Amino acid sequence: MVEIKTPGEIQAMRASGRVVAQILATVRAQAAAGMRLSELDEAARAVLAAAGATSPFLGYRPSFAPVPYPAAICASVNDAALHGIPDRYRLVDGDLLSVDCGAVLDGWAADAAISFTIGPPRPADARLIATTEAALRAGIAAAAPGARIGDISIEPWFLAGGQDSYYIDDDGWTIRSGDGSRAAHAEHTVAITADGPQVLTTP
């Protein structure tokens, strides 16, 4: 059953969305060659704490997962498409990083993801990221009353290789491309209203 949100509840979700946007902006600003993924997770946790919010990712354990998720963000590098655990890996110029995060504030959650490169992007990476973002924009544009969730799919993640195969890494969480090709991911939390879709995870 779909629960219809009131205007006040949408505003509460928007407040959570602003925290998510702040986390993504902070992580993007700090992500540089030499930075450890775990340090980016620490920066995200600091934003959450300052806002009085919590992470819906930290400690989450769905039925497929061998262990609870151990971080506040997902940090997926290069061939990792989703759910990358931010470990002690140090970023290098040319890495393609996808960051997914959420925030819960006063009981309301929001979630978003971005992909970007460390340093100037390779042309192929720039095309991959642009295509992923274009797919997200198309999904948001289709998010209108009367549409079906299957028609929208507003969380695209694409693999650059010629195969659509992927596998779950030994950590039980990270989804990687089957052929080692690079991946990109984009996501927003969106409210569907009579006046059109409202993106809730923007500053």
Residue spans of alpha helices (H) in 52-148: 123-141
Write out pLDDT tens, residues 43-67.
Answer: 999 999 999 999 999 999 999 899 9
- Give percent of the chain above pLDDT 70: 100
Fold exhibited by the domain 7-195: Creatine Amidinohydrolase (3.90.230)
Write out pLDDT tens, residues 104-144.
Answer: 999 999 999 999 999 999 999 999 999 999 999 999 999 99
Please tell me the distance from the alpha carbon of residue 184 to that of residue 175, in angstroms, as a whole number: 12
Report pLDDT for 167.
95
Please tell me the distance from the alpha carbon of residue 147 to that of residue 142, in angstroms, as a whole number: 7
* Nearest CA-CA partner of 32 in 90, 87, 100, 83: 90
Question: Using an 8 Å Cβ cutoff, are 53 and 23 in contact?
Answer: no
Name the residue with tokens 């602003």: 18
Write out pLDDT tens, residues 79-98.
Answer: 999 999 999 999 999 999 99
- Say how many residues make up the chain: 203
| Stated pTM of the model | 0.95
Report pLDDT for 78.
98
Buried b (16+ CB within 10 A) or exposed e, 148-183: eeeebebbbbbbbbeeeebeeeeeebbbbbeeebbb
Domain ranges of the chain: 7-195
174-191 average pLDDT score: 96
